Amino acid sequence: MKKTLKEIFDALRTKNYRVVAPVRDGNKIFFTEVSSPDEITLDYVNSEIAAKEWLFPRTEVVMKFDNLATENVEISDDIENQTVETLTAIIGVRPCDVKSLLILDKVFSWDYKDAFYLNRRENTVLVTLGCSKLGDGCFCDKVALDMSSQEGSDVFLAQNGDGSFEMSVVSDKGAEIFPGEKIVPEEQKTTGDAFDKKKIKAWLDGNFEDEIWDKMALKCLSCGACAYVCPTCHCFDVIDEASISEGCRRKNWDSCGFGQFTIHASGHNPRPSQKERFRNRILHKFKYYVDKFDETACVGCGRCRKVCPVNMNLRDIVGAIEKK
Amino acid sequence: MENKLQEIAKKLLTDGEVDLVIGYGADTDRFIEPVFITKPDEAKKLLWNKKCFNNLAVYLTKDVVKHANKVGIIAKGCDIKAIVGLIQESQIDRDKVVILGISCDGVGEPLLKKCNGCDVNTPKLYDHLIGDPIESTLREDKYAEVEDFERRSGEDKKAFWDKELAKCIKCYACRAACPLCYCAKCVVEKNIPQWVPTSPHSAGNFSWNFIRSFHLTGRCVGCGECERVCPVGIPLGLINKKAALEVKSAFEYEAGYDYEVEPPLTCF
Ligand code: SF4
Ligand code: SF4
Ligand code: SF4
Ligand code: SF4
Ligand code: SF4
């Protein structure tokens, strides 16, 4: 059915959803909580930081403790506060970011159920905006993700020429907000020119010590930019912060690109140089995740290259591995 | 210029004068990527144009260079300021680097901000000059943005930084791209005890960005790499320039011009 952004926004607000949407800040786009549809920019390729941030924030408190008590220290689990997390609707999220959440669901509900992520996931509605052409640096086609894929969406929007949207309701959650005909999302179509993931994985399985890793990692500067903007990266650090009277434990984003990521208390570092760290990044996405969850952990959004100070391009790197 | 660049690089490698040349190669839609050339034949990969943004001096303190006997580096005037800093701070030997200095009239279209206030279009230090000397015509005072900002009220400044620093995701790309952030263990990595909060919340982000600036006070050469690479677009140059301006007025010193001068805040 045909809808305007305002109609969609109002329907969500009526159902008490807080609305998160792409907002322009200078020449950057960030997913931001908005109070009016006028703040939203849907004429965009992708956000700087993936929408995952609204489910897996850059920092969050997971536990609190009283730092003054000398006995019977009270520790409160912050899960309780998180279960009452506000209902959230993310409008204008791209199919690659939606796909990334399906990928993250696996790791966050595997041996340990991450209640923080899962509670937010439960309370979040995804109003996806399909893409009509590949943006600069996007390579979802290479990882076999269709840019108009409805998989994982609750509501799906396609842009009409007149500024309105063709809206389809995809899930039950979506139907609660927009009663009406529900469509069955199409089986994931494979895109024409996709990577041969099996071939890539087979090469990765056998070439942990190949010289390609030295060469490839030479220019990498060991920062966290690629991981922090990536919609599927999910590593985090757990740290305690305290004042004299109280303290808390936080879960903060972390990146395998940092030297400190793997350092042992003894001082030994099993990934002493960028070669081992960058190799881990590729292996985690195209081998380990496949081993564990039968899925690659890259949706081809191209953000990692866009923020990389030295333009490390996963599309080319993985493409070169495929040709090996 | 490209020809001359390739020619000199090739000769340096052929004569064994250097065993590595760090330069700009592979053209992309964003910029020219850094390349590491070790064979004379590969010197033809070297490029020079308006998309050569990176300050390659950042690699001079990395293992790849430490393992080389002598390196050649392609550098613009602003990049060479960082090399000057590294020599001053005993991070590299002047004898160990061959500087292929570029006569540069600016990069980026439109020009990067730093190029408008550039006074080193012809580098101040080099072993080979590529291109004809260019006289610097300051299109803009590089400290103008600091002076403009200073005129704002305290409240206004606080609101500005609250908003900007809230964006920081603590990716440390600013540190990674900075040629003068070479500490093997950065102060934020010192965690017994944890001196600087690592969380990307307000206290953590203020601590990080201002501590970094304090540590670069009198050392930052204004190459602009930190600001260029910040994925969320925080105007980091404004913090660093404010510090540089203070040093200038207190000590009549600006970093990156002469490695024989002792820096006022860092003597090793
Ligand atoms: S690895 Fe890069 S391209 Fe792939 S999902 Fe992450 S940010 Fe996007
Ligand atoms: S690939 Fe790029 S963004 Fe990622 S750690 Fe290396 S330099 Fe940083
Ligand atoms: S600051 Fe000067 S030397 Fe550096 S790129 Fe700009 S014009 Fe060239
Ligand atoms: S590059 Fe930007 S976002 Fe990353 S740590 Fe530095 S200031 Fe923060
Ligand atoms: S702080 Fe920024 S401008 Fe200063 S030397 Fe480092 S990267 Fe260059």
Task: Establish if A229 touches chain B: CB-CB under 8 angstroms.
Answer: yes
- The answer to whether ipTM exceeds 0.85 is yes
Nearest residue, CB atoms, A28 vs list B64, B228, B232: B232
Question: A66: which DSSP letter?
Answer: E
Q: What are the tens digits of pLDDT across the range A249-283?
A: 999 999 999 988 998 989 899 999 999 999 999 99
Domain ranges in chain B?
2-130, 144-267
Q: What is the pLDDT of residue A193?
A: 80
Q: Hey, are the CB atoms on A59 and B64 less than 8 Å from each other?
A: no
Residues comprising chain B, all counted = 268
Identify the three-state secondary structure at position A41. Answer: coil
Using a 6 Å cutoff on CB, does residue B216 contact ligand 5? Answer: yes
Q: Going by CA atoms, what residue is nearest to atom 3 of ligand 4? A: B168
Q: What is the pTM of this model?
A: 0.94
Cα–Cα separations (whole angstroms), residue A70 to A73, A244, A245, A291: 7, 12, 11, 47
SS3 letters across chain B: CHHHHHHHHHHHHHCCCCCEEEEEEEECCCCEEEEEECCHHHHHHCCCCCCCCCCHHHHHHCHHHHCCCCEEEEEEHHHHHHHHHHHHCCCCCHHHEEEEEECCCCCCCCCCHHHHCCCCCCCCCCCEEECCCCCCCCCCCCCHHHHHHHCCCHHHHHHHHHHHHHCCCCCCHHHHHCCCCCCCCCHHHCECCECCCCCCCHHHHHHHHHHHHHHCCCCCCCCCHHHHHCCCCCCHHHHHHHHHHHHHHHHCCCCCCCCCCCCCCCCC
Q: What is the pLDDT of residue A154?
A: 95
Distance B22 CA to ligand 1 centre (A): 28
Paired residues of A241 in beta bridges: A248
- Residues B259-266: contacts with CB under 8 Å, at least 24 apart: B259/B84, B259/B87, B259/B88, B259/B94, B259/B125, B261/B88, B262/B88, B263/B88, B263/B89, B263/B218, B263/B219, B264/B218, B265/B217, B265/B218, B265/B219, B266/B88, B266/B89, B266/B218, B266/B219
Q: What are the tens digits of pLDDT across the range A76-104?
A: 776 666 655 689 999 999 999 999 999 99
CB A183 within 8 Å of CB A168: yes
Largest interatomic CA distance in chain A = 67
- DSSP H/E element including A24: strand A18-25
Q: Count of A–B CB contacts within 8 Å?
A: 99
- DSSP H/E element including A115: helix A115-122
Using a 6 Å cutoff on CB, does residue B104 contact ligand 3? Answer: yes
**Side-chain half-sphere of A17: how many Cα atoms within 13 Å?**
27
Residues B253, A183: Cα–Cα separation, whole Å: 69
Identify the three-state secondary structure at position A284. Answer: helix
- Of the pLDDT bands very low, low, confident and very high (cuts 50, 70, 90), residue A66 is confident
Question: A113: which DSSP letter?
Answer: B
**Strand ordering across the sheet containing A18-25:** A2-3, A165-169, A155-159, A124-129, A88-93, A18-25, A28-34
DSSP string of A195-208, one letter each residue: --HHHHHHHHHH-T
Backbone angles phi, psi at A25, to 5 degrees: -135, 105
Of chain B, the end-to-end C-alpha distance in Å amounts to: 38
According to DSSP, the β-strands at B71-76 and B32-37 are: unpaired
Q: What is the pLDDT of residue A85?
A: 61
**Which ligand does the CA of A233 lie closest to?**
1
Nearest residue, CB atoms, B54 vs list A250, A258, A310: A310
Q: What is the pLDDT of residue A70?
A: 77
**Which ligand does the CA of A274 lie closest to?**
2
CA B148, distance to chain mean position in Å, is: 24
> What Rg, from alpha-carbon coordinates, does chain A have?
21
Q: What residues of chain B, 225 to 264, have a C-beta less than 8 Å from chain A?
A: 225, 228-229, 231-233
Q: What is the pLDDT of residue A78?
A: 67
A179 Cβ partners below 8 Å, 6+ apart? none
Confidence check: pLDDT of A110 > 80: yes
Q: Going by CA atoms, what residue is nearest to atom 2 of ligand 2? A: A308
Q: What percent of chain A has a predicted confidence (pLDDT) above 70?
A: 95
Computed over every residue of chain A, the mean pLDDT equals 91
Confidence check: pLDDT of A188 > 80: no
B111 Cβ partners below 8 Å, 6+ apart? none
Q: What is the pLDDT of residue B65?
A: 84
CB B23 within 8 Å of CB B35: yes
CB A311 within 8 Å of CB B28: yes
Q: Going by CA atoms, what residue is nearest to atom 1 of ligand 3? A: B115
| Single-letter code of the amino acid located at B156 | D
Confidence check: pLDDT of A207 > 60: yes
Cα–Cα separations (whole angstroms), residue B268 to B2, B66, B247, B259: 38, 20, 18, 13
Task: Please name the residue that has the structure tokens 């301006």.
Answer: B245
**In a structure prediction context, what are the per-residue pLDDT tens digits for chain B, which is 268 residues long?**
899 999 999 999 999 999 999 999 989 999 999 999 999 999 999 999 999 999 999 999 998 888 888 999 999 999 999 999 999 999 999 999 999 999 999 999 999 999 999 999 999 999 999 999 998 888 888 899 999 999 999 999 999 999 999 999 999 999 999 999 999 889 998 888 888 899 999 999 999 999 999 999 999 999 999 999 999 999 999 999 999 999 999 999 999 999 998 888 876 4
Residues A25, A214: Cα–Cα separation, whole Å: 38
Q: What are the tens digits of pLDDT across the range A27-44?
A: 999 999 999 999 999 999
Task: Please name the residue that has the structure tokens 């996806």.
Answer: A128
What is the mean predicted confidence (pLDDT) over A131-142?
91
